[in-house]
Amino acid sequence: MTRFQKWLFWASSVATGVTGAAYWWMQNMMEPVSEWAVINHPLQPWVLKAHIVVAPVLIFAVGLIAGQHIWNHFRTSIQTARRTGLVTMYVLGPMVISGYLIQVVTHPGWLAGVGWVHIGTGVLYLLGIAAHQRVLRAAKAEVSISPRPPALVANGVIRGRTAP
In a domain, 93, yes or no: yes
Q: Work out how many domains the chain is built from and give that number.
A: 2
For residue 48, what pLDDT is reported? 96
Q: Are residues 68 and 2 in the same domain?
A: yes
| 29 vs 146, more confident | 29
In a domain, 154, yes or no: no
Q: Which residues contact 71 (CB under 8 A, 6 or more apart)?
A: none
Q: Are residues 5 and 48 in the same domain?
A: yes
The boundaries of the domain holding residue 86 are: 79-148
With b for 16 or more beta-carbon neighbours within 10 A and e for fewer, the 88-109 pattern comes to bbebbebbbebbebeeebeeee
Q: Are residues 115 and 129 in the same domain?
A: yes
For residue 152, what pLDDT is reported? 45
pLDDT class for 83, splitting at 50, 70, 90? Answer: confident
Q: Are residues 10 and 59 in the same domain?
A: yes
Q: Are residues 50 and 83 in the same domain?
A: no
In a domain, 62, yes or no: yes
pLDDT tens column, 21-67? 999 999 999 998 888 888 999 999 999 999 999 999 999 999 999 88
Count CB atoms within 10 A of the CB of residue 137.
11
Measured distance CA(1)–CA(163) in Å, rounded: 42
Q: Of 31-35, 75-79, 87-91, give the lowest mean pLDDT range.
A: 75-79
| 78 vs 90, more confident | 90
In a domain, 141, yes or no: yes
Phi, psi of 162 (to 5 degrees): -80, 135
- pLDDT value at 78 more than 80: no
For residue 153, what pLDDT is reported? 45
Question: What value does the mean pLDDT take over residues 137-162?
Answer: 58
Mean pLDDT, all residues of the chain: 86
Count CB atoms within 10 A of the CB of residue 16.
26
In a domain, 163, yes or no: no
pLDDT tens column, 95-114? 999 999 999 999 999 999 99
Q: Are residues 83 and 44 in the same domain?
A: no
In a domain, 83, yes or no: yes
